[in-house]
């Protein structure tokens, strides 16, 4: 069984890049879209409770983004390390990395849950909650924080299974979680038969039920013996060096999502003085744009193990084809979303609330927000490229650039100069600056590693003797 798992992983260095991208990215894209869709479903149902409830979700979102950042960073860091070890055919090290990755999730997830539960009200007020919004935000986040371990485990196991060459299984579990959440959302929020109406807390419970079912599917596969991994109790013992290797790469995902949370917090606090409606609009725009970004993130997740494996196998010319084709696909999708956002912004916002002030402000704000929306997917894909080759520092800085280095100062400066319009304009300006920095750094790295700017790589594969070890930096 395990030999079959190893054989599957080795196809990442030999099979057609087109076929590999379709096989690895399609299930990831579908799972990411469905995973993000249940956030939108939450928003649609929560919108029935009024703009204040939508504002509560806007305030809670930064904390949820931080949770997701830590879980995703652990999973991506472990997946990159596992992929590189599989590419080197060092299967013992791959097993160790996978098991320590799971150990990391338990340690970090438990600590995060305890700290945030003890300071929940303070955090929500910091993120922009006032007395009218705080009770609803608290009822939602108590459940989310209490069950955050489920989210961490779900993300980590999915990334490990994707790294060994089984993206369909990983994505099927995420899809199942999303569908389950959508089914239980209205039941737990508004009640059905003997099930009481739990309101905002019901939406959070529905998410936890979905995650639990997804984890069961992932564990069933990992314990079936049909994987490239071998699990042994001694492999789960914490190893400081492996922790460093995991988080040296994973810190970029953590920083990228955390910086998104910080910019969201700043935007909440900037929007709050303008009233509940702009705050509610901001929360809906973030969730709607997140759905549009998910295909690019799914494509990046599918691309990462291919980049990591071929980097470990020193097949750098295959990396160029993988990355450039992923960038092109992401750009086409993001451009489509850009056109939809500009033409149908008001229609999109009316899905979440019939309040006329909300719809009017939302349509105007979404058009400004989306002015250079076509650029975001390219930044995401290239960030995954740096993580795949194990270069955590560039991935970290590029993740910080758009969300923190550019976004936060722009939010403060443009809002002070142009009011609410300036706040909405800060997002496209930061997107464009982040894209320019990402493209420059990628070009330099491609040249350094000898990666060609070509959608086709030569048939012959570079031998280890002909290619210098690029090394981790």
pLDDT in tens, 455-473: 665 444 444 334 444 444 4
Q: What per-residue confidence (pLDDT) applies to 456?
A: 62
Specify which residues 192 forms β-bridges with: 195
Residues 244-267 have pLDDT tens digits of 887 877 776 777 677 777 887 888
Separation in Å, CA 410 to CA 270, 283, 422, 426: 11, 19, 9, 5
C-beta atoms surrounding 436 within 10 Å: 11
Residue 15: how many CB atoms within 10 A of its CB?
A: 12
Is the pLDDT score of 328 beyond 50?
Answer: yes
Distances (CA, A) of 338 to 44, 64, 292, 372, 380: 22, 26, 9, 7, 16
pLDDT digits (tens, 9 = 90+) for 144-171: 888 887 777 777 788 777 777 777 787 7
Reported confidence tier of residue 429, pLDDT bands at 50, 70, 90: very high
Give a yes or no: residue 364 inside a domain.
yes
Number of domains comprising the chain = 1
Mean pLDDT of the chain: 80
Residue 459 inside a domain? The answer is no
Q: Which of 339, 345, 353 is nearest to 58 (CA)?
A: 353
- The 3-state DSSP class for residue 195 equals strand
Q: How many Å apart are CA 219 and CA 241, to the nearest integer?
A: 26
Does 223 reside within a domain? Answer: yes
Q: Quick one: what percent of the chain has pLDDT higher than 90?
A: 6
**Structure-block tokens of residue 8:** 């599957």
Q: Does position 387 have pLDDT exceeding 70, yes or no? A: yes
Q: Each residue of 406-424: b (16+ CB within 10 Å) or e?
A: bbbebbbebbeeeebebbb
pTM above 0.85, yes or no: no
Phi, psi of 371 (to 5 degrees): -55, -40
pLDDT at 415: 92
pLDDT at 62: 82
Q: Which residues pair with 195 in a beta bridge?
A: 192
Q: Which two tokens stand for residue 381?
A: 């894909």
**Of 169 and 445, the one with more pLDDT:** 445
- Which pLDDT band holds residue 35 (cuts at 50, 70, 90)? low
Mean pLDDT for 340-359 is: 86
Please check whether residue 455 lies inside any domain of the structure.
no
Q: How far apart are CA 211 and CA 179, in angstroms?
A: 10
Q: How far apart are CA 51 and CA 187, in angstroms?
A: 21
pLDDT at 10: 57
Is 42 within a domain? yes
In a domain, residue 65? The reply is: yes
| Residue keyed to tokens 């001694």 | 234
Asked if residue 362 is part of any domain, the answer here is yes
Range of the domain at 80: 2-449
User: What confidence category does residue 417 fall into, taking pLDDT thresholds of 50, 70 and 90?
Assistant: very high
Per-residue pLDDT for 413 more than 90?
yes
Residue 461 within any structural domain of the chain: no
Residue 4 pLDDT class (50, 70, 90 cuts) = very low
DSSP per position, 92-103: HHHHHHHHHHHH
Question: What's the whole-number mean pLDDT along residues 68-73?
Answer: 79
């Amino acid at each position: 069984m395990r030999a079959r798992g190893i054989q599957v992983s080795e196809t990442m260095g030999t099979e057609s890049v087109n076929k590999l991208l379709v096989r690895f990215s399609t299930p990831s894209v579908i799972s990411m879209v469905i995973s993000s869709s249940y956030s939108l479903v939450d928003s649609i149902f929560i919108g029935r409770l009024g703009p204040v409830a939508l504002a509560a979700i806007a305030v809670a979102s930064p904390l949820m983004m931080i949770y997701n950042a830590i879980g995703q960073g652990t999973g991506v860091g472990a997946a990159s390390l596992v992929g590189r070890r599989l590419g080197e055919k060092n299967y013992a090290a791959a097993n160790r990395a996978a098991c320590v990755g799971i150990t990391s999730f338990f340690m970090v997830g438990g600590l995060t849950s305890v700290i945030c539960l003890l300071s929940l009200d303070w955090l929500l007020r910091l993120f922009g909650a006032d007395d009218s919004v705080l009770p609803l935000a608290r009822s939602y986040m108590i459940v989310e924080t209490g069950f955050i371990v489920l989210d961490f485990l779900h993300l980590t196991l999915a990334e490990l299974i994707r790294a060994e060459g089984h993206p369909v299984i990983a994505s099927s579990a995420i899809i199942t979680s999303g569908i389950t959440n959508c089914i239980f959302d209205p039941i737990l929020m508004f009640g059905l038969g003997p099930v009481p109406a739990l309101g905002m807390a019901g939406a959070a419970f529905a998410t936890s039920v979905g995650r639990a079912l997804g984890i069961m599917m992932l564990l069933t596969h990992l314990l079936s013996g049909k994987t490239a991994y071998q699990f042994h109790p001694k492999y789960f013992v914490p190893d400081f060096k492996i922790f460093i290797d995991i988080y040296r790469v994973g810190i970029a995902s953590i920083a990228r999502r955390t910086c998104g949370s910080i910019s969201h917090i700043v935007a909440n606090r900037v929007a709050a003085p303008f009233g509940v409606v702009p705050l509610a609009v901001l929360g809906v725009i973030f969730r709607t744009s997140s759905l549009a970004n998910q295909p690019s993130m799914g494509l990046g997740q599918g691309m990462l193990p291919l980049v990591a494996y071929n980097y470990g196998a020193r097949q750098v010319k295959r990396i160029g084809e993988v990355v450039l084709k992923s960038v092109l696909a992401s750009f086409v999708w993001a451009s489509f979303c850009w056109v939809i956002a500009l033409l149908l912004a008001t229609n999109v916002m009316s899905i979440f609330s019939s309040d006329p002030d909300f719809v009017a402000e939302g349509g105007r704000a979404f058009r400004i927000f989306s002015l250079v929306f076509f650029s975001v997917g390219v930044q995401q894909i290239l960030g995954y490229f740096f993580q795949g080759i194990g270069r955590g520092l560039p991935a970290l800085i590029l993740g910080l650039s758009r969300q923190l280095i550019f976004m936060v100062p722009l939010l403060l400066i443009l809002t002070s100069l142009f009011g609410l319009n300036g706040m909405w304009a800060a997002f496209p300006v930061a997107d464009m600056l982040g894209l320019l920095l990402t493209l420059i750094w990628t070009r330099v790295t491609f040249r350094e590693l000898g990666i060609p700017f070509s959608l086709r790589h030569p048939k012959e594969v570079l031998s280890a003797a002909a290619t210098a070890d690029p090394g981790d930096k």
